[in-house]
Structure 1
């Protein structure tokens, strides 16, 4: 068992089994996120990745170091089939754009301009994404592939067939407003302004330059009006833009998707969908189709003096084929709300949106060309993490009011989902609301663990009943693991071991 110790700045190696021998065996003077491949522990610390040989936990030995170049950030990391998959993004240097150097120490790596993929659909780009395969035993970079994209809101999802990397971006504002003025405002906007905007959208200049020119044109127009006319026009534009944006918001908020194959580690294809995904659970590959859940319509506030009155967000699920082309969709789930959690299980999808209540949606995705909403359930609060525990039961963890709430959803009848049970925990926060890594499910004993600010909690879910089996106080619980029939609750200052048969404490180790 390898435990990161954030306070002391060290990572501790713990002898965990048998529980009677629980003790600190060794230490590493680095902290950060951890991945373990065979006998190599990888520590992600700041802008570096360290590889330690922990075959002898009493004496870990550093084998290699990878250091990021100055303008590089790790977007995601996955461990699969004994290889480390790193996704890095590099801020584009507009003066000297190439070559790209993601790493400054460790493996020598230089990406030429001719080796960088450009999506066929023009998008505003400010970073270069580089995916790498790293050998955990040596720290050597074995393969790379790169493409340009936007630095805004990136999500990494990995299936057994490929890596999907998303980047969100804005569509063409100039084209959007040119069409808005032409279609909706001919009675209040002079022809000369509409004509100039139409021509501006066709200029072969950067989008930033177009936006500057757009603002100048709008400012000059408003300055030509007297105070009364200006106030009237501003109100008219705000109201009309609100209605226009409701119909065209999917044209303005977009997310690009790039798929990298695992066999040759090349880019298979790229595509795009409206809106923005929430996290990695918003994407799922099933039978060569990609399902993507997004929220659209929350981020646009207008432009300059032209505001947007009532913005109506919406939530969609799109199905894309192997070429990343949209073949089906379910739109407008939870209007004026946003997605809080998503989970895809086989040919079903589960989506939670929230603003005032918690609509829990069940989608039938068995026909990729005709996905449909089958059922929904509206209950108080929301679930920010969904976890399938059986084929017909989904666990939701979120909040109701100010307290942490656990919901057990019965989805055996997709047309009529129900809340089989719920439990309100006397906690204001759980780390599960922040990261799914804090959740632990033990199917053998039909229990799950969740940390809280007051301690750690073990719940059973047998016979559709959420029952608090054990509460452990006096520990700032972070994570838990199980070995055989023993549950190890890991906190900031100690580890508590419970026997899962009778739930008595069998040992404890303080740091």
Structure 2
């Protein structure tokens, strides 16, 4: 029997990923659900040993290779969902400048005092703008001409204050998201990080450069230190020590015995590294690494800790074996039950076991289908899990690890408050293709050791989370399918969080921003158009005080909170939409349009004193916020 299964295993491994998947889809109903369960999970784990939660380090290169190989087959054809790369500072100004504004806007960030990379930075006198590349091609039938030479984008340094003297004073050939630390401008360009001395902004000087082996998925600036999270693809025959980052004079490497892994077996194709970078010298000062699946990590940083998540799925084989033992004993023959028990005990790959299990179950599909659906619906929170790693900023060591059901949407799904971590997740273990298990959304409260102490469950059944914002003792959640339920949570008692209010309105909000203690702004879409909503959350029942629907179908704010700017002194906010830039007032709890610019490709705004600078790929236009008259402008060549 073992030899037969080994022949089957060899046959399965020889299938191409496409034939492999088509063969799997031959079964129907429950087996199709099994395949959907297997194929829809982005990051299934393939256990060899019984599950025990926690973290450990690899003991040898052979253990590392075995860990990767045991579940690598799942990565060949599983659907993948990738998180975007990247998900206040001290201002250093030269003495002797004639004019320095009293009000200087900063990048819109999640946590006050912790800066995030973006395409615009300002020191109050100069604006640093790093536009994305633009290259348009028009094709006219019958017309022959040479295409113009592609012009690589440059980072523009603009002397912006006072506005009447605005001018482009210099350029840097590299572009990307930026951080500004005193007189050092740090540019994240692909896998390269470069530092420039901009103490004389008329003539910036490159002072250091490092190259990441892989990609940068998050960066933060706090108290003069840059915190990085990088992703490096790994494979079973990779050599150690592994180079993580190359500087001009050395390579930062890691040995296999330094790498953390979950005790649970999860499909691994990436190494995640948290590191600290001295922006003055371009030196890596601390590092730690752990394995995971590419595209799964969400990074959140408080003023105390760095939190890194990884989503994974318990073994489908163990899950279905339990289902058969618990629910199908009266349907399957005793011989087939024994065959399944022997199959599970064999020392062959989980892949081969799953294919053989399908063959055994095929004659019983019609009878067990209803039981399977109900069984998995009751256990949805056991079928999709997110692990959380907590890195203490002071010691830069892992001080806690925990897990919750479901998966987080983005960095706003996590928030630390008074020593507790609040985490919002969507439980969605199937990709709904052949049946449905009802999705749900939960909020979990974890203590300093990342143990769950409280929760609110079943928000927006059949829906998924579109936006989250935790503010003090309250939490705001938006879920969506056909309407936009806006939930208000009271989180003052970590052990007893409560849903206190709910509002259902058309459309959804992708980004929530606190305007005042009792006013929340939502930016999203309704009937495909960009929608702006103003919510009153003072009472237990939220109220939509006002809304505006734009003609445009897209705003960068739907993708990045960095595109949004609030000016509380003038009670206005900026957002780009389509090719335009909008400024709206929220005075008297009413949304009213103050300004609309039709200058091409406006993407950001900053304010210096009472002047609003609207920044786009073609140039900068300055408006007086007291009169909303144009003051000056500068074009980018």
TM-score computed with the length of structure 1 as normaliser = 0.92
**Alignment match of 1:75 (pick from 208, 214, 217):** 217
Partner of 1:227: none
What secondary structure is seen at the aligned counterpart in 2 of 1:101? strand
Task: Report the Cα offset of residue 13 of structure 1.
Answer: 0.5
Distance in 1 (alpha carbons) for counterparts of 2:447 and 2:229: 23
Q: Indicate yes or no: 2:194 matched with 1:50.
A: yes
Partner of 1:226: none
Q: Indicate yes or no: 2:226 matched with 1:84.
A: yes
In the TM superposition, 1:178-327 aligns within 5 A as 178-198=321-341, 209-222=349-362, 230=363, 233-297=364-428, 299-300=430-431, 308-327=434-453
Task: Report the Cα offset of residue 104 of structure 1.
Answer: 3.5
* Change in 2 beyond 3 A, CA 1:425/1:45: same
The answer for unaligned runs of 5 or more in structure 2 is 1-126, 135-151
* Change in 2 beyond 3 A, CA 1:101/1:195: farther
* Change in 2 beyond 3 A, CA 1:325/1:66: same
Q: What CA deviation, in whole Å up to 9, does each residue of 1:15-65 have, x standing for no partner?
A: 110111111110011111111111111111122111111111111111111
In the TM superposition, 1:145-184 aligns within 5 A as 145-184=288-327
Q: What CA deviation, in whole Å up to 9, does each residue of 1:325-373 have, x standing for no partner?
A: 1111111100110000000001110000000000000011111111111
Q: Indicate yes or no: 2:617 matched with 1:492.
A: yes
Q: What CA deviation, in whole Å up to 9, does each residue of 1:282-326 have, x standing for no partner?
A: 00001111010001125445xxxxx85123111000111111111
Partner of 1:369: 495
Greater strand share, 1 or 2? 1
Partner of 1:451: 576
What secondary structure is seen at the aligned counterpart in 1 of 2:356? helix
Q: What CA deviation, in whole Å up to 9, does each residue of 1:56-84 have, x standing for no partner?
A: 11111111111122xx2222111111111
Q: Give the aligned CA root-mean-square deviation in angstroms.
A: 1.8
* Change in 2 beyond 3 A, CA 1:329/1:26: same
The answer for unaligned runs of 5 or more in structure 1 is 223-229, 302-306
* Higher mean C-alpha deviation, range 488-497 or range 355-364: 488-497
What secondary structure is seen at the aligned counterpart in 2 of 1:242? helix
Q: Alignment length, in residue pairs?
A: 491
* Higher mean C-alpha deviation, range 480-489 or range 151-160: 151-160
What secondary structure is seen at the aligned counterpart in 1 of 2:425? strand
Distance in 1 (alpha carbons) for counterparts of 2:361 and 2:546: 60
Q: Indicate yes or no: 2:597 matched with 1:466.
A: no
* Change in 2 beyond 3 A, CA 1:24/1:197: farther
Partner of 2:156: 12
Partner of 1:60: 204
What secondary structure is seen at the aligned counterpart in 2 of 1:217? helix
Task: Report the Cα offset of residue 92 of structure 1.
Answer: 2.8
TM-score computed with the length of structure 2 as normaliser = 0.74
Partner of 2:564: 439
Partner of 1:104: 246
Distance in 2 (alpha carbons) for counterparts of 1:203 and 1:158: 44
